[in-house]
Amino acid sequence: MPAAPFVAKLNEQIANEFAAHQQYVACAVYFDGETLPQLAGFFYRQAMEERDHAMMMVQYLLDTDAPVEIPGVVPPVSTFDDVVAPIALALEQEKRVTAQINELAGVARQAGDYSSEQFMQWFIKEQVEEVATMSDLLRVAQRSSDVQDIEDYVVREQSGEGADPTAPRAAGAAA
């Protein structure tokens, strides 16, 4: 079984990932309501990724016979002043998650739990990508006077990526 402090922290992180899922659904619904289908689609896809992150962590705990607690989540922010606000909030969220993921790797290392430390490596790499994606999108959104330019950018640069064969298995996903 993984080190107890890591198990406790990973269970907390499952709640953070589900909260990120809910937040991105809220962002997607906001953009859908504004008839910005590309931004909506982008955030719906991001939401699914966050759910997958949570379920990968669930699977790891299942695989290692560690206790899993499926959490409730805090309500997301659902009203936004303008189209830039949800993206700025998303970038803040990704930076916060990056700190949480790094801390998890640190807890595993400190406990001498090398399997758990290795499990966190994929998430560390993933966070670098997610922060980069979101800060690029924020920059584009901030300098676009026409919201259609943001939509075009999403089509061009963020129309979704293929499956990542190196990703940990998510609970409930086909093996």
Binding flag, residue 130, Fe ion (CB under 5 A): yes
Whose Cβ is closer to Fe ion: residue 50's or residue 151's? Answer: 50
Q: Residue 87 burial (CB < 10 Å; 0-12/13-18/19+)? A: buried
Measured from the CB of residue 105, what is the shortest distance to Fe ion in angstroms?
Answer: 14
Cβ pair 127, 19 in contact under 8 A: no
Whose Cβ is closer to Fe ion: residue 112's or residue 160's? Answer: 160
From residue 4 to residue 33, the character string flagging contacts with Fe ion as x (rule: CB under 5 A) and all else as - is -------------x----------------
Measured from the CB of residue 56, what is the shortest distance to Fe ion in angstroms?
Answer: 9
**Residue among 87, 86, 61 nearest 7 (CA):** 61
Measured from the CB of residue 145, what is the shortest distance to Fe ion in angstroms?
Answer: 28
Determine the Cα–Cα distance for residues 160 and 53; give it in Å rounded to an integer.
17
Cβ pair 18, 73 in contact under 8 A: yes
Binding flag, residue 53, Fe ion (CB under 5 A): yes
# residues near Fe ion by CB under 5 A = 4
